[in-house]
Amino acid sequence: MEIAKSIEMPFAAEVVYQTWVSSDTVIPPATSMDINPVRGGHYRLLMETAELSMRNEGRFLEVNPGKHVRYTWEWNGDGEVTEIDVTFVSISGGTEVRLRHSGFRSDESRSMHDAGWDGYFAGLIAHMSEKDGGGA
């Protein structure tokens, strides 16, 4: 089971890529990020609040700076290790981000992640617009 999404963003592909792989890009409900975007490098996202303590961890399988990343994804060591594949394509007026998230064990997990990606993309666009003033 997989998720496939494509979204256009009004920012240059290199800027979107750099934001995607930056420890400074913390999109709520995440509270911190630790990322080393090199092949074999780690990825760790934390959500720490009074009510919640969750983590996501993975490893980068492929890294083509400015263009593509592929990495594993596992919530709280739950054993469901999925794979995220993201391509950043320059288009007129910005970037098309093509995401494929695969390896889900259940429809419920796939559905929850699908909604999570919608929220992440909305938060990413808002974050980039705030930080960079918008525009490619």
The one-character DSSP state at 25 is -
3-class DSSP assignment, residue 125: helix
Tell me the torsion sign for CA atoms 114, 118, 119, 120: positive
pLDDT digit string (tens) for 26-79?
998 899 999 999 999 999 999 998 888 999 999 999 999 999 999 999 999 999
Q: Residues of the chain with pLDDT > 70: what percent?
A: 96
pLDDT digit string (tens) for 64-74?
999 999 999 99
| d(C-alpha 10, C-alpha 134), whole Å | 7
3-class DSSP assignment, residue 109: helix
Residues comprising the chain, all counted: 136
Any idea which fold 2-131 has? Alpha-D-Glucose-1,6-Bisphosphate; Chain A, domain 4 (3.30.530)
20 bridge partner residues: none
42 bridge partner residues: 59
More confident residue, 134 or 120: 120
- Give the residue among 5, 14, 1, 6 at the shortest CA–CA distance from 128: 14
| d(C-alpha 47, C-alpha 50), whole Å | 10
| d(C-alpha 131, C-alpha 4), whole Å | 27
Q: Give whole-number Cα distances, 99 to 28, 32, 54, 68, in Å.
A: 20, 22, 23, 10
Q: What is the pTM of this model?
A: 0.92
| d(C-alpha 120, C-alpha 26), whole Å | 10
